[in-house]
Amino acid sequence: MDKEKLKEIFIEEASEIIEKLDIEIINLEEKPDDKDLLNELFRGVHTLKGSANSFGFKRLGEFVHGFEDVLDYYRGGDDVPQREHIDIFLDAVDVIKEVFEYEINDTSGVPDRYQDCIDAFRNLINAKKNSSESDEVSATLDDLDSKDISSEFALDDDETTKEQGSSNVTSLQKELLRSLSETEILLKIVLTLDDDLYLRGQDHTIFLRLLKSEGVILSSFWDLSKVPPLNELDPQKNYIPSVEIYLKTTKDIEEIGEIFEYLEDYEYKIEEISINFSDEEENKEEEKVKEKSAKEEVKNIESQPQAKPRKTQKSENSQEIKTPSASQQRSFVKIDTLKLDELFDSVGELVIAQNFLAENEKINNIKDENVLKTIETLSKITRLIQNRVMSLRMVPIRDTFEKMKRVVRDSSRKVKKEVKLIISGEDTEIDKTMVDALSDPLIHMIRNAIDHGLEATPEDREAKGKNREGEVGLRAYHKGGNIVIEISDDGRGINRDKVYKKALERGLISEDEELSDSQVFGLIMQAGFSTADKISDISGRGVGLDVVRSSIEALRGKVEIESKLDKGSKFCILLPLTLAIIDGMLVKSSGETFIIPTLSIVESFRPHEDIVHTAQGQGEFVNLRDELLPIVRLNRILELDNNNPKVCESTLVCAENENGRFAILVDELVGRQQVVIKTLGKTLSHLKEVSGGAVLGNGEIALILNVEGLYN
């Protein structure tokens, strides 16, 4: 594994961690006394520090180290972070993001707030230490068993000695390693000793004796930091929380592990010390962290599998950088989406082959129950596989939603409004590629809701009889074959007349146009439209919402707006479940089959002769409930042939695109179907009328029409 590759892995994992920091800090603000959350946060920061240092990213390493100290303080004590501390944390994450960029791009110097933040860490720790030193000391002695040794250790002593301590150990390990012959390995065994050890009739010297029979004990370290003065010593209590033993042996790690078989999992830990020293140090620290979490949740069965494998795990080189941020209950495999696509293709073929079998007349004529049954089973399994493969691409929208908490926090402060974010349906699953692309539009819409949606001041809200605190809702759910994401607020609502007037001014509409409410609201998503009286830092430049609309449309979705004056507004983003599959209407024109995406179809109908009009030189129109729709003949626009079927004998599909509604004339409707979208490749990508192809059940290809390109 070369260095570049390692660096890539580091960057990927670090970005993941940094991404999560924001979310965790915001969650911590909601539940400041949640130690699990704090631990999770600490673990992330800790891993980040470790890997940053091992890559020589000193600036990042140093900064994160400072941050870690602060978190460690809260982790060890009963003190909970206040709002101003959370501010510091969040600032720190911002700086981490910047420093990270600096490091990756090899830019010299540090970000502006780098030093400020480090100072803030130091001040915070100093202030806290001074104020609470006395209680801390007594607390550590009183509830020794409930607290973690390593964190205690860090609290009592200065952080630097701890660092030095561990580097001494590594040089010691180095030395010990040199004394090994080729067949021998060096094992590090850490025993965690409970304080009621003697009362339970245990004797840790037994283990030492047993170990001696298996190999040579090179060195052992006894943590004596907790031993009280003689006059306070309780002879029935054990004051040595841990013993660290270095064993030279020719046996393997599993055999040695058997000695400790009847101990609890948390009470002992064995690992092999190998050549890679710098990482060893990291792993060791890592383990302290892990150990702590394992201890705390020792009754929590779900955390056990994570603690167990670590004991026998050989410490390999640094490709082993852990991601403790990953969920504790489940394990995950990262797969290139490209591979998923390939799998998906193959499954698509499987479905086609299965359809072929199921529809084959000869097979259907076989009057053998077993054959028919097998075919039936095959089709069931195929469908099952197809669904499972589909679901591989799906991830819950939770992470994206969680990210919005920070957005709400930041922007509500900026405009000095009190805002509560209500999230629901965060378990709704959505295509991974879509999740990534959704983030920016969502951020924008949330900001928009806070800045424009809500009343200007909390006082304004009170005057209207509402809570001071504005509510912004973020909700996801399934509807039909779509996913809907709702961004709602209980603010002012959209002023229809104001929007209408503005649109007239800007020349976006003409005076004689009759527009429905939703059409008027839709205008605010047009380019060059902004109704905010004042341009603020957050939004209001009028370039935002149209960008939102185009990025949603790029995902083949659309935005619908509902609003009631003084009650609030609701923006609904309708998205297909996945980018790989489209819900389409199969139509026929000149003998060829085409697919029109259902999302852009308004309705379809067979027109009566009376409502079809021909305007000289302007083409044909159909009058649908007093709305004149231009007719687009599919066979003509695609240049399939020159036939001119009578409009009243054909079917019209009313579709909607950027330029408005129009009617597509086709020979007949075949039916509605979910199809897998395939690109036509770059040789055919110039066709604006066609956006792709789909393989139908019979193995043939039907072209998917691009509604945007059919009429303008």
Positions that interact with other proteins (CB under 8 A): 1, 345-346, 348-349, 592, 638-640, 678-687, 689-690, 693, 695, 699-703
Integer angstrom CA distances of residue 466 from 236, 460, 493, 568, 570: 64, 9, 14, 11, 18
Query: Is the Cβ of residue 149 or residue 587 nearer to other proteins in the bound state?
Result: 587
**Residue 379, CA atoms < 13 Å, CB-side half-sphere:** 12
Of 182 and 639, nearer to other proteins (C-beta) is 639
Whichever of 83 and 334 has its CB closer to other proteins, that residue is 334
Q: Which amino acid is at 528?
A: G
With vertex at residue 289, the alpha carbon angle to CA 283 and CA 293, rounded to the nearest 5 degrees, is 135
Cβ neighbors of 642 (< 8 A, separation 6 or more) are 636
The residue type of 163 is E
In angstroms, the CA 96 to CA 92 distance is: 6
Q: How far apart are the first and last CA of the chain?
A: 54
User: Pairing state of beta strands 592-597 and 701-705?
Assistant: parallel
Residue 257 CB, nearest distance to other proteins (Å)? 27
Burial (Cβ within 10 Å: 0-12, 13-18, ≥19) of residue 613: middle
Considering the complex, state which of residue 456 and residue 696 has its C-beta at the smaller distance from other proteins: 696
- How far apart are CB 640 and other proteins at their closest, in Å? 6
- DSSP assignments along 237-268, one per residue: S----EEEEEEEESS-HHHHHHHTTTS-GGGE
CB of 671 to other proteins, least distance (A): 18
Dist CA 203 CA 210 (whole Å): 12
558-564 β-sheet, strand order: 419-424, 470-479, 482-489, 568-576, 558-564
Residue with smaller CB distance to other proteins, 261 or 639 = 639
Label residues 288-321 b or e (16+ Cβ within 10 Å = b). Answer: bbbbbbbbbbeeeeebeebbeebbeeebeebeeb
Residue 172 or 350 having the CB closest to other proteins: 350
Closest contact distance (angstroms) between CB of 71 and other proteins is 35
> Which residue type, as a one-letter code, is found at position 621?
F
Least distance from C-beta 380 to other proteins, angstroms? Answer: 21
Q: Which is nearer to other proteins, 419 or 704 (CB)?
A: 704
C-beta of 240 vs 343, nearer to other proteins:
343
- Please state the closest distance from residue 652 (CB atom) to other proteins, in A: 20
Output the six-digit token pair for 460.
Answer: 């304004």
Q: Toward other proteins, which CB reaches closer, 499 or 695?
A: 695
Determine contact, residues 214/251, Cβ cutoff 8 Å.
Answer: yes
Annotate 620-668 with three-state secondary structure.
EEEEECCEEEEEEEHHHHCCCCCCCCCHHHCEEEEEEECCEEEEEEECE
CA quadruple 347, 352, 356, 359: dihedral sign: positive
- Nearest distance in Å: CB 247, other proteins: 30
Query: Measured from the CB of residue 347, what is the shortest distance to other proteins in angstroms?
Result: 9
- Smallest distance, other proteins to C-beta of residue 669, A: 19
Least Å distance, CB 543 to other proteins, is 24
Using an 8 Å Cβ cutoff, are 578 and 599 in contact? no
| Shorter beta-carbon distance to other proteins: residue 538 or 702 | 702
Is 154 strand, coil or helix?
helix
Name the residue nearer to other proteins (CB basis): 487 or 581: 581
Min separation Cβ 346 and other proteins, Å: 7
List residues bridging with 558 in a β-sheet.
Answer: 574
Least Cβ distance, residue 344 to other proteins (angstroms): 8
Distance from CA of residue 91 to its chain's centroid? 21
Inter-residue contact 344 to 352 (CB < 8 Å):
no
Choose between 186 and 595: whose C-beta lies nearer to other proteins: 595
Q: CB of 228 within 8 A of CB of 142?
A: no
- CB-CB neighbours of 73 under 10 Å: 20
Instruction: Select from 690, 703, 667 the least CA-distant residue to 589.
Output: 667
CB of 558 to other proteins, least distance (A): 24
In 3-state terms, what secondary structure has residue 696? coil
**Residue 374 three-state SS:** helix
- Residue 547 or 680: the one with the smaller Cβ distance to other proteins is 680
Strands (E), 399-544: 419-424, 429-431, 470-479, 482-489
Beta carbon of residue 704, minimum distance to other proteins (angstroms, whole number):
11
Nearer to other proteins, 347 or 445 (CB): 347
Cβ 548 to other proteins, closest distance in Å? 25
Say which amino acid occupies 512.
D
Question: Which of 117, 634 has the CB closer to other proteins?
Answer: 634
Closer Cβ to other proteins, 395 or 640, answer by number? 640
Alpha carbons 651 and 112: distance in angstroms, whole number: 65
Closest CB 345 distance from other proteins, rounded Å: 4
* Nearest approach, Cβ of residue 712 and other proteins (Å): 15
Query: Quick one: which of 74, 66, 86, 67 has its CA closest to 34?
Result: 74
Q: Which is nearer to other proteins, 412 or 691 (CB)?
A: 691
Chain-centre distance for alpha carbon 206? 49
580 within 8 A of 344, measured Cβ to Cβ: yes
125 versus 343: smaller Cβ distance to other proteins = 343
The nearest distance, CB 684 to other proteins, in angstroms, is 6
